[in-house]
């Protein structure tokens, strides 16, 4: 009976072997198909992540570019509201405009328009009015003072498409005085976008929030100014979020595309990066065909030799070992990502950290497991980070993103960006947090450099008008609290226009740089501030300095300019570059009705008196009051 049973088992062995082979072949084909489909999805997700980084970077670039335009516009608005729109002021502003356009390549033009829509500066290049233009109507009808970013328009100067940013300025009585306009060329943005490789048929475009294209690459000239407001990006409620990816068919040729969009939180802008799905998946498809061909050949081979169960089992074991090896290799690649992945328990201790921790924090993952996750956070940032972690642990937030400073093993400190998300058990209870962290120190350093550019005069290296106005407000308040004095020197080069006419603007720029170096050396205290006030006019703010101190410093500056010996034949009688200086000082605590503007006005009046008195001299506001008293017989 045992023999019979054994033989029956031997007869059933081919069927069992055939069933095993069929099952194994089906499993192999299914697994390979699933893996290829997963690889396809992974490729799409990777492309979306790459385009997300491009879109976020270019959106930041667009915001920074508009901030750069706005910094110049704010300074001009302040000057116009302080000095008015007389020809002298407009002429000085036009010189500032030209200097800024030469210094900053992304600036296309600056212009000032009066309350009737007429050009006050020659930047308009035409005698026509702008009373019907979008930005002018907006500022004319709205008392709001913030910057307005309009639709792309064709420049009246050279006919190119430009993006406009404008601000309103008021008359002294608060009524509408006109508009200061700054523009940036759409071609500049298009050429900048060409630096990013997102595929042979990829596109990058910047649009207004209402759907009008402002810049695009490629074929910028064909698309800028066109409206795509009826596209899904602007109509679909599910896409009206700050950023995200979406797939769509092109209305032009029906080709499927993969896109990522980023909406600006500060300006009415939408940045979109797209790539053709066919082009994106072409490398994967070629590799998948090759791999699947190998799989089919392997299955056929298994079917041919399937009669031999032992060899089939051996082949299956080898395949299993190969799969395990591939999985281990895949895990190694995943853990080698540049971002640090951290698993945090409810006790705020590290449960797992990826090997990239050695690059991000300088510590090996084994050294971090079990340590408090917030141990290295900068004490100034700790309360904010702690609050977010607590909110996630309590379930008040599912996901959060924060930028903070953290200690590094080999460096003093680094800036980190962490995206945290809760993890839950099967029953829905929170069991921890997963954080994906990257080093953004270089990005923060770039932001700091851009902030420095926004408050520094590019030609002289001194503070610009914007920074001067900020410091004047701060020092006035400080002097008022401390009951101390505050001094100010207003400096203007004599007959500088004739110097430019004779030697040219490059020589004029070099002369301004020399003066900037002199002022920087004289304003040597940490609280002193030397600034380029506009054109050839400079200002030196001297905290805790009385009138006598202002005069001493002003005389040293006058002598240093004379000692520089810069030839200026038109500036008689000296024949060299000279300057006129107006000096003033006051105690803000004793000026009950006057504000900080009175200090600038007094110094400016003294400067005017120095010009009238023959130039190459210093006049203090106290001397001016004495002269006025003698003239009136008092």
Residue 599 has pLDDT above 80, yes or no: yes
* CA separation, residue 231 to residues 72, 236, 247 (Å): 35, 8, 12
Give residue 606's pLDDT: 93
Shared domain for 327 and 273, answered yes or no, is no
409, 361 contact by CB (below 8 A): yes
Q: How far apart are CA 374 and CA 344, in angstroms?
A: 10
Residue 575 vs residue 395, higher pLDDT: 575
Shared domain for 18 and 86, answered yes or no, is no
Lowest mean pLDDT among 111-115, 246-250, 258-262, 343-347: 246-250
Q: What residues are paired with 183 via a beta bridge?
A: 109, 164
Domain of 419, CATH number, reads 3.30.450.20
Please report where in the chains the tokens 């089919």 appear, as a residue. Answer: 296
Residue 443 vs residue 527, higher pLDDT: 527
Which regions of 440-549 does DSSP assign to beta strands (E)?
A: 486-493, 529-534, 537-543
Shared domain for 182 and 61, answered yes or no, is yes
pLDDT tens for 400-423 read 888 888 888 777 788 888 888 888
Please report where in the chains the tokens 């008092």 appear, as a residue. Answer: 634
pLDDT tens for 439-473 read 777 777 766 665 555 678 888 888 888 889 989 88
Closest CA to 72 of 115, 31, 108: 108
| Section 2-7 average pLDDT | 48
| Section 201-218 average pLDDT | 85
Shared domain for 240 and 296, answered yes or no, is no
Give the DSSP letter string of 41-90.
HHHHHHHHHHHHHHHHHHHHHHHHHHHHHHHHHHHHHHHHHHH-S-HHHH
Closest CA to 425 of 356, 345, 368, 352: 345
Give all strands of the β-sheet with 340-344 in edge-to-edge order: 350-353, 340-344, 430-439, 414-424, 399-406
Shared domain for 327 and 345, answered yes or no, is no
Shared domain for 506 and 583, answered yes or no, is yes
pLDDT tens for 544-568 read 999 899 999 999 999 999 998 888 8
- Reduced to 3 states, what is the DSSP secondary structure of residue 385? helix
| Section 40-66 average pLDDT | 82
Residue 313 has pLDDT above 70, yes or no: no
What value does the mean pLDDT of the chain take?
80
Shared domain for 259 and 134, answered yes or no, is yes
Shared domain for 346 and 331, answered yes or no, is no
544 DSSP 8-state letter: T
Q: Which of 279, 297, 317 is the last residue of a domain?
A: 279
Q: Which of 257, 279, 301 is the last residue of a domain?
A: 279
Shared domain for 174 and 61, answered yes or no, is yes
pLDDT tens for 137-184 read 888 888 888 889 888 888 877 778 888 898 888 888 888 888 888 888
Q: How far apart are CA 583 and CA 608, in angstroms?
A: 11
Shared domain for 69 and 207, answered yes or no, is yes
| Section 100-104 average pLDDT | 77
Residue 329 has pLDDT above 60, yes or no: no
Name the domain count of the chain.
Answer: 4
90, 76 contact by CB (below 8 A): no
- Domain coverage including residue 526: 455-631
Give residue 450's pLDDT: 58
Give residue 583's pLDDT: 94
pLDDT tens for 467-523 read 899 898 899 989 888 899 999 999 999 988 988 888 888 888 898 898 888 888 888
Residue 3 has pLDDT above 60, yes or no: no
Kind and range of the H or E run holding 585: strand 579-586
Shared domain for 256 and 290, answered yes or no, is no
Q: How far apart are CA 619 and CA 610, in angstroms?
A: 5
Domain of 530, CATH number, reads 3.30.70.270
Q: Which of 258, 279, 300 is the last residue of a domain?
A: 279
- Reduced to 3 states, what is the DSSP secondary structure of residue 607? helix
Shared domain for 546 and 435, answered yes or no, is no
């Amino acid at each position: 009976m045992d023999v019979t049973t054994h033989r029956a088992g031997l007869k059933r062995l081919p069927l069992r072997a055939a069933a095993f082979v069929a099952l194994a072949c089906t499993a192999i084909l299914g697994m390979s198909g699933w893996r290829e489909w997963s690889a396809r999805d992974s490729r799409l997700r990777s492309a979306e992540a790459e385009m997300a980084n491009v879109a976020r970077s270019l959106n930041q670039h667009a915001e920074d570019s508009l901030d750069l335009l706005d910094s110049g516009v704010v300074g001009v608005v302040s000057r116009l509201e302080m000095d008015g729109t007389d020809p002298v002021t407009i002429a000085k502003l036009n010189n500032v405009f030209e200097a800024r356009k030469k210094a900053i390549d992304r600036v296309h033009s600056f212009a000032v328009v009066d309350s009737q829509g007429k050009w006050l500066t020659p930047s308009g290049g035409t005698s026509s009015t702008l009373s019907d233009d979008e930005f002018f109507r907006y500022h004319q009808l709205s008392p709001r003072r913030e910057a307005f970013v309009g639709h792309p328009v064709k420049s009246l100067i050279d006919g190119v498409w430009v993006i406009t940013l404008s601000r309103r300025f008021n008359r002294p009585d608060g009524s509408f005085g006109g508009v200061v306009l700054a523009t940036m060329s759409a071609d500049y943005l298009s050429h900048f976008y060409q630096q990013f490789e997102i595929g042979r048929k990829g596109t990058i475009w910047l649009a207004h929030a209402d759907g009008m294209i402002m810049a695009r690459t490629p074929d910028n000239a064909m698309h800028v100014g066109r409206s795509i407001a009826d596209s899904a990006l602007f109509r679909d409620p599910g896409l009206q979020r700050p950023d995200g990816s979406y797939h769509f068919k092109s209305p032009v040729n029906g080709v499927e595309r993969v896109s990522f969009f980023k909406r600006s939180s500060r300006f009415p802008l939408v940045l979109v990066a797209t790539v053709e799905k066919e082009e994106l998946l072409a490398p994967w498809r070629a590799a998948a065909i090759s791999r699947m061909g190998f799989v089919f050949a392997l299955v056929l081979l298994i079917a041919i030799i399937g009669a031999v169960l032992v060899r089939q089992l051996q082949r299956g074991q080898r395949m299993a070992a190969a799969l395990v090896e591939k999985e281990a290799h895949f895990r190694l690649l995943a853990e080698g990502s540049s971002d640090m992945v951290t698993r945090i328990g409810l006790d705020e201790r590290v449960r797992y950290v990826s090997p990239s921790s050695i690059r991000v924090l300088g510590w090996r993952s084994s050294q971090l497991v079990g340590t408090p996750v917030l141990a290295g956070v900068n004490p100034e940032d700790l309360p904010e980070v702690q609050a977010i972690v607590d909110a996630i642990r309590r379930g008040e937030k599912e996901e959060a993103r924060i930028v903070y400073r953290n200690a590094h093993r080999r460096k003093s400190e680094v800036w980190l960006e962490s995206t945290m998300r809760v993890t839950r058990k099967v029953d829905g209870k929170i069991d921890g947090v997963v954080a994906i962290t990257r080093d953004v120190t270089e990005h923060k350093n770039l932001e700091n450099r851009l902030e420095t550019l926004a408050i520094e005069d590019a030609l002289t290296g001194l503070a610009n008008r914007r920074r001067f106005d900020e410091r004047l407000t701060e020092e006035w308040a400080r002097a008022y609290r401390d009951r101390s004095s505050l001094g100010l020197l207003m400096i203007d080069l004599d007959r500088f226009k004739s110097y430019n006419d004779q030697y040219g603007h490059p020589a004029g720029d070099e002369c301004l740089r020399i003066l900037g170096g002199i002022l920087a050396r004289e304003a040597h205290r940490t609280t002193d501030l030397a600034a380029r006030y506009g054109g050839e006019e400079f200002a030196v703010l001297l905290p805790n300095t009385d009138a006598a101190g202002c005069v001493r410093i002003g005389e040293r500056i006058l002598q240093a300019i004379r000692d520089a010996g810069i030839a200026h034949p038109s500036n008689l009688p000296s024949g060299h570059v000279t300057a006129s200086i107006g000096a003033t000082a006051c105690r803000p605590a004793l000026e009950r009705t006057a504000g900080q503007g009175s200090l600038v006005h007094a110094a400016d009046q003294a400067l005017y008196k120095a010009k009238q008195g023959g130039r190459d001299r210093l006049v203090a506001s106290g001397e001016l009051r004495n002269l006025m008293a003698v003239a009136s017989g008092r």
